[in-house]
Structures are given as structure tokens and as C-alpha cells.
A = this chain, B = another copy of it.
Amino acid sequence: MWTFVDSLQAAQREKQSVLCVGFDPQFRFMPPHLIKKYVALYGKTWEAMAAIYLEFNQRVLDQVAQFAAAVKPQAAFYEASHQMWEVLEQTIEYAESLGLLVIKDAKRTDGGDTAEAYADAHIGKVPFFDDSRVPAPIRTDAVTIEAYIAEACVSHFTDAIKQYGTGAFVVCKTSFKPNSKVENLVTTSGLTVWQELAQDVAAWGEGTEGENGYRNLGVVMGATYPEDAPKMREILPKAVMLIPGYGKQGGGADGAVAPFNEDGFGGLVNDSRHVLMAWQEGLFKCKSEDFAQASGYAARVARDDLNAALVRAGKCPF
């Protein structure tokens, strides 16, 4: 079956890019002229807020689509109201209309039929009258999940992956500094909790392989801990690693590509704020009306920066 990881590798080849652009919009990133435009139309309402965010996302998507192998909306920034949740739906739909793969960063987790409901909604199909099932409006090609609840959670996502050819990334080694105490606890077997979890992911991911041999159950692996990348890769040779922490969180391009395989695949590096805030600070700072173009420049530079790092590592497949 042609699956998420196959589409991802094809997109990476086509765009010569291992970049994923994160859509983590915040009110402080919004250009004043967009705020003015929609407040004039709708007042200071959630309808205005939603319209501002949607136009911001769509214009940035237009500019970054050619440089990004995938995009990753962060659910946290769309949850405050149902109008914002609709912006998430519309952002997904618009990204798909541009031919982009969409990964929803939601870090969802639970067990039993609650986990099943999350898996159905985010990467499967949901019950919808007459015992039929349909893709939910917020469905994406892949989703991030949390696995403290372990198999009682993850099994529902691997079920959906196997049935629908979608994907999921388990939060395993995060990018934050100071790093989580929980993931770095050492167990009686001499491994850290994140290594134990990675071994579980290796077991849970069996049978989720795409046509290219990569697995559709991947992990989140922070760019800020490149020294741990070989250990993670040893446990998960055919996992795709979603790599946050490049850019604003301080991870350089060389660290960000450390988890990639020798074939130059098996990784996807996220950059959110550098791209979204490009009009406000840094090399492409400009007047707010040109916000989207600045984001396009930032995405292009990030793509090229990562490719240069892949070349330095002797792993560039393009």
C-alpha cells in the first residue's frame, strides 16, 4: 500500500527539501493590516480573529509550499474557540489543495475508546450516521501522539495507520532545554525512559511499513540533542523522525540532520517561528504587508541550510 511515508519521501525528492513548516500562529505574529481589515468587518470578535489567522495561514502557505516537504499545524493555537478550530480545518484543506502533506501536531493521548476516538478523528475515519464512516474535517496525513499511557493508547493509532495508510509520531526525545526529567530517568536495565519507549515504538511499529520500507509509526526526536540521535537510530532504523527544535529553540542544521539515515531519508525537520515571524525580525524583516513573501524567503533559506548540512554529513539524496 502507498502510505504516508511513501508520499513524504516523494515530496522530499520533488522539492529537494527535508523542511516541514510549522503553523503555530499567535496573535503577536499577525500583521496590523490584517487585524485592521477584519476588525472593520466583524468587530473585535472570534469571527474576526479567525479570519485574520486564516488569511495569514493561507498567504504563508502560498509562499512556502514550494520549499516545504510538509506542513505541521500545531493544534494548541486553534483550540480556544470553535471559530479557531474551523481555521484549523480550513488551513488543512488549503494546504492539501496546494498538494502539501499535513502533519497535525496535537500530542494526543488517552486509552481505550477515547484513544480510538482520537485516532479516528485525526488519522482515520469517524462514525457518521447509518454505520458509515467518513474522514473527519480535521483529519490529516499524520499526527503526533504521547505514549506515557503506552500500548493502551498507541494500539489505536497503529490500527488506523494499518487500515488507512496514515502516520503517527510518538513523542520520545523532546527538544526542550532543560530536558524532561521523566524521559531521562534511568531504569534498572541501564536505559533511559526514552530509550525504553523507543524500544516499545520499535515493537508497536511492526507492520506499519510503507512501500519504501520506512515505517508509518515514527518518533519525535529533538534537534537539540544530536548526541542521542545515533542511539535513537540504532533502535529505530526504519522510523521517520520528526525533528523539532531547529531554529528558535537553538538547534543548528547539523544537529537537526543528525538523526537522518545514510540514504538522506528518515527525517523531517520542523521550523515554525523563524518562518511565521520572518516579517518581524531577522534577515527578511520588512513592512507587514509583505509578511508572506518574508516567510517564503525564510523557508527557502531553511531548506537550503538543511540541505547544506546534509551535504556536510555526506547524506544529501538530492
Contacts and interface: CB of A to CB of B under 8 A. Distances in A.
A121 B80 contact: yes
Nearest to A35: B129
Given A174-B149, A197-B182, A249-B112, A89 B81 contact: yes
Counting chain A residues whose Cβ lies within 8 A of the other chain, the interface size class is 35 or more
A74 interface: yes
Interface stretch (A12-20, A21-29, A287-295, A299-307): A21-29
Nearest to A184: B150
A26 B52 CA distance: 33
A81 B39 contact: no
Contacts of A146: 107, 109, 146, 148
B149 A171 contact: yes
Interface string A176-220: 101111110111100001001100100000000000000000000
A108 B107 contact: yes
A183 to B, nearest CB: 6
Given A107-B108, A147-B182, A188-B188, A82 B86 contact: yes
Oligomer copy total: 2
A150 B181 contact: yes
A10 interface: no
A34 interface: no
B127 A81 contact: no
A108 to B, nearest CB: 7
Contacts of A35: 129
Interface in A80-111: 80-83, 85-86, 88-89, 105, 107-111
Given A127-B26, A188-B186, A114 B74 contact: yes
A113 interface: yes
Contact of A196 (B113, B130, B147, B182): B182
Contacts of A80: 120-121, 126, 136-138
A186 B115 CA distance: 26
5 contacts: A82-B89, A111-B174, A112-B176, A182-B193, A187-B188
Interface of A: 24, 26-28, 35, 39, 44, 46, 49, 74, 76-77, 79-83, 85-86, 88-89, 105, 107-115, 117-118, 120-122, 126-130, 136-138, 146-152, 171, 174-176, 178-183, 185-188, 193, 196-197, 200, 249
